[in-house]
């Protein structure tokens, strides 16, 4: 598959999803970028904005099975990964796979579960495996987690541990659609559209097609000067006055992966500084830890990151 073919396929996916999830075109593109970069997405937004519908529709169009797991305060780690159950007929224990054994997992309201349950996803998201009772089992391909969380100010929520946040390739905010998009949603429902009836949605590809697209991303080239620019951005997060802990090496790899995926989605076989700048916010913002004094003064990770991007010289030009 060439970058041009990949771009055409992604455009078809974005257009089809755009008829279902109105007014969220850039967000849909970022979700596809994460999938092609073999990463996972943390989606923050208030209830009722279409987060669940997005992942269900995407799974249908990609020809994948999907599973929705509702996180609650009493959810246990074994409810996520599965566990051994005694089979009386056979006289032995057998492993019963949990909902995590699916190509696409919607972890709904992940921050309503306690930390020990959230951590059940750590190995799966990083290594694509689940270990239980000394046995490691491989998860289906492509294993893609789209987790949703309510804003941290909401009642009954637990902050995600730093290690858990770091496993998400990108973090996105799903806001309310503009008025015209919301009008289109209402007209769709007047015409008979129902979010719980997606059987008529025909797949545009299959698992092999997704694998081919991911392989195409691996062929995107990176010029030395663009790689140096990416490293400059990462280094500045570690030396910024308001940031206590800057981006890790894993974050640098994540930024590179998403920049390559964005280039492929746009039909290019090479990345540009603009790919790095565009993906820096969704990739790095949730990974930066501010100094307590900076937080007290009202500084945010987003504002600090935007300042870094503005001051870092771009190859062939100057800081913007």
Note the pLDDT tens digit of each residue in 27-76. Answer: 999 999 999 999 999 988 777 777 778 888 888 888 888 888 888 888 88
Whole-angstrom Cα distance, residue 220 to residue 131?
34
Are 14 and 29 within 8 A, CB to CB?
A: yes
- Neighbouring-strand partners of residue 67: 105
185 to each of 18, 142, 192, how far by Cα in Å?
11, 30, 11
pLDDT of the residue at 34: 95
7 to each of 25, 54, 206, 234, 269, how far by Cα in Å?
15, 20, 16, 28, 11
pLDDT of the residue at 40: 94
Phi/psi at 42 (5° precision): -105, 120
pTM for this one?
Answer: 0.88
CA 102: distance to chain centroid?
Answer: 16
Are 135 and 95 within 8 A, CB to CB?
A: yes
pLDDT of the residue at 161: 77
**Residue 134 region by backbone torsions, left for phi larger than 0, else alpha for psi between -120 and 50, else beta:** left
Low pLDDT (below 70) residues in the chain: 152-156, 195-197, 199-200, 317-320
pLDDT of the residue at 219: 93
- Neighbouring-strand partners of residue 145: 105
Whole-angstrom Cα distance, residue 123 to residue 119?
8
pLDDT of the residue at 154: 55
pLDDT of the residue at 317: 63
Which residue segments constitute the domains of the chain, with CATH numbers given?
Answer: 3-212 (3.40.50.300), 220-311 (1.10.8.80)
- For residues 264-277, one letter each, b for 16 or more C-beta atoms within 10 angstroms of the residue's C-beta and e for the rest, the string is bbbebeebbbebbb
Helix axis angle for 273-284 and 249-265, nearest 10°, is: 130
Classified as helix, coil or strand, 82 is strand
pLDDT of the residue at 230: 96
* Residue bearing tokens 């306690």: 114
Helical (H) or strand (E) element with 108: strand 104-108
């Amino acid at each position: 598959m060439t970058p041009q073919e990949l771009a055409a396929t992604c455009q078809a996916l974005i257009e089809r999803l755009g008829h279902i999830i109105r007014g969220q075109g850039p967000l849909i593109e970022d979700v596809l970028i994460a999938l092609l970069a073999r990463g996972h997405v943390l989606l923050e937004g208030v209830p009722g904005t279409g987060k669940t519908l997005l992942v269900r529709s995407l799974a249908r169009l990609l020809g994948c099975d999907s599973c929705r797991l509702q996180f609650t305060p009493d959810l246990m780690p074994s409810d996520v990964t599965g566990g051994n159950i005694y089979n009386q007929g056979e006289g032995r224990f057998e492993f019963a796979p949990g909902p995590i054994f699916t190509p696409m997992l919607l972890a709904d309201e992940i921050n309503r579960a306690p930390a020990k349950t959230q951590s059940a996803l750590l190995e799966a998201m990083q290594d694509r495996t689940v270990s239980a009772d000394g046995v490691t089992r491989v998860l289906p391909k492509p294993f893609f987690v789209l987790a949703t969380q309510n804003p941290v100010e909401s009642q009954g929520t637990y902050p995600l541990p730093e290690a858990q946040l770091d496993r998400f390739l990108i973090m996105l905010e799903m806001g309310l659609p503009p008025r015209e998009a919301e009008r289109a949603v209402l007209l769709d429902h007047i015409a008979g559209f129902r979010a719980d009836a997606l059987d008529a949605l025909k797949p545009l590809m299959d698992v092999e097609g997704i694998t081919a697209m991911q392989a195409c991303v691996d062929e995107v080239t990176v010029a030395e000067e663009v790689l140096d620019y990416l490293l400059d951005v990462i280094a500045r997060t570690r030396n910024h006055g308001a940031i206590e802990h800057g981006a890790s090496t894993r974050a640098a790899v994540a930024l590179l992966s998403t920049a390559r995926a964005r280039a492929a989605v746009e039909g290019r076989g090479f990345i540009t500084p603009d790919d790095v700048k565009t993906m820096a916010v969704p990739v790095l913002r949730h990974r930066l830890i501010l100094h307590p004094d900076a937080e007290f003064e009202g500084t945010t990770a987003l504002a600090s990151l935007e300042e870094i991007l503005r001051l870092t010289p771009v190859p062939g030009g100057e800081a913007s």
